């Protein structure tokens, strides 16, 4: 028989061995848990979104950007360059210094805006352009509406109006924004002219630059005074369309002069449904979706996903001849604005 003290020593040794084993296992588990707790959290992406004008078109773009950013858990910094090249450069430089991950921008100039955006790209910042873009391979992606089609779609409705209501004869004035964004402005006007100009009885008698309501109100008013024979005014953007309608009203030319335009707002929806018959049709971009898609492209590029170099979105025709469609469009517009204002 083994002595009692020997058995005691053996049991004590076995117990200590078990304790050491348990302690070692617990230590490994604790170390593993500690590693998990100390692992850094995934960095929240920070993206700058820059517009260049304060109107409903760009507000809806901002709402779309914000909606996409919120859904993706991205911090969005919004700014407006106010049509000032110097301010645009300042904003880009500020965002470079703040170390944003991406800049989503509608640049003011294909050439002049490129230098600052190249600096951003060189700093490792993803650049996505929308609505307008810059020369070279600076943007990871560019998204725009089909600018020529915005004019062509409205032109088709205007041509039918001329054929059915004016006997194929019409004198037309156009308002554009060539001095602001020449390429985009020309694409819209050329799209309209190439469709309406197919009618031999059509004559374009005046062309002016006016993209803000107050500018368009004055210039369209001056055109109506200088050319009382005008039947139609076409405008290349929202502000110009608003001003043109107001100019016709102020001149008391309801029933004699009609307006066709581009882009949309709640005010233009009201004009389209008004009994005065001035605003006949417009082809609008989809700015909320444009802002959403631009933000999604930036996020995808930051995640290393392949993105298309250029994305083109179709316009939407809104015409007086389809009042139910106008109302449905107005409801959708109001819903998007309410969403953005939440």
At residue 55, the pLDDT reads 87
pLDDT at 274 over 60: yes
Q: How many CA atoms lie within 13 Å of 58's alpha carbon, on the beta-carbon side?
A: 21
- Predicted local confidence at residue 40, as pLDDT: 54
pLDDT of residue 20 exceeding 90, the answer is no
Domains in the chain and their CATH numbers? 46-145+287-312 (3.40.50.2300), 147-284 (3.40.50.2300)
Per DSSP bridges, beta strands 170-176 and 46-51 are: unpaired
Angle at 70 between CA 80 and CA 303, to 5 degrees: 95
Burial of residue 172 (number of CB atoms within 10 Å: 0-12, 13-18, 19+): buried
Q: How do beta strands 170-176 and 232-235 pair? A: parallel
The whole model's pTM is what? 0.80
Weakest-pLDDT range from 106-110, 115-119, 185-189, 338-342:
338-342
Q: What is the mean pLDDT of residues 145-165?
A: 97
Residue written as tokens 């009994």?
Answer: 275
Q: Using the predicted structure, report yes or no on whether residue 13 has a pLDDT greater than 70.
A: no
Per the CB < 8 A criterion, the answer to whether 176 and 219 are in contact is no
What percent of the chain has a predicted confidence (pLDDT) above 90?
Answer: 84
Find all residues with CB under 8 Å of 45, minimum gap 6, and list them: 72, 73, 74, 75, 101, 102, 299, 302
168 sits in the region (left: phi over 0; alpha: psi -120 to 50; else beta) called left
Does 190 score more than 70 pLDDT?
Answer: yes
Kindly tell me if the per-residue pLDDT of 89 is higher than 90. Answer: yes
Token duo for residue 40: 């850094």
Terminal Cα-to-Cα distance of the chain (whole angstroms): 87
Q: What is the pLDDT of residue 31?
A: 41
DSSP state of 304: T
Burial 176-186 (b: 16+ CB within 10 A, else e): bbbebbeebbb
């Amino acid at each position: 028989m083994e002595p009692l003290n020997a058995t005691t020593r053996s049991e004590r040794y076995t117990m200590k061995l078990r304790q050491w084993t348990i302690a070692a296992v617990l230590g490994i588990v604790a170390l593993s848990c500690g590693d998990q707790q100390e692992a850094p959290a995934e960095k929240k992406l920070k993206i700058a979104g820059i517009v260049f004008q304060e109107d409903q078109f760009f507000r809806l773009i901002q709402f779309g950007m914000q909606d996409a950013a919120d859904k993706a858990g991205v911090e969005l910094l919004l700014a407006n360059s106010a049509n000032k090249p110097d301010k645009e450069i300042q904003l880009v430089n500020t965002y470079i210094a703040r170390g944003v991950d991406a800049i989503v921008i509608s640049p003011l100039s294909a050439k002049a805006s490129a230098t600052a955006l190249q600096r951003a790209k060189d700093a490792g910042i993803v650049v996505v352009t929308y609505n307008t873009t810059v020369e070279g391979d600076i943007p990871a992606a560019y998204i725009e509406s089909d600018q020529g089609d915005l004019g062509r779609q409205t032109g088709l409705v205007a041509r039918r109006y001329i054929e059915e209501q004016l006997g194929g004869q019409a004198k037309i004035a156009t308002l554009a924004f060539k001095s602001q964004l020449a390429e985009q402005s020309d694409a819209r006007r050329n799209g309209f002219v190439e469709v309406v100009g197919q009618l031999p009885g059509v004559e374009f008698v005046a062309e002016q630059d006016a993209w803000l309501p107050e500018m368009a109100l004055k210039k369209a008013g001056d055109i109506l005074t200088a050319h009382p024979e005008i039947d139609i005014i076409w405008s290349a953007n929202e502000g110009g369309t608003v001003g043109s309608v107001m100019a016709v009203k102020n001149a008391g030319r309801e029933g004699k002069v009609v307006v066709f335009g581009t882009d949309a707002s709640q005010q233009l929806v009201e004009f389209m449904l008004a009994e005065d018959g001035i605003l006949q049709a417009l082809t609008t971009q989809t700015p909320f979706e444009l802002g959403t898609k631009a933000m999604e492209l930036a996020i995808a590029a930051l995640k290393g996903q392949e993105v298309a170099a250029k994305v083109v979105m179709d316009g939407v025709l809104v015409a007086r001849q389809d009042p139910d469609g106008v109302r449905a469009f107005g409801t959708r517009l109001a819903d998007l604005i309410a969403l953005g204002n939440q």
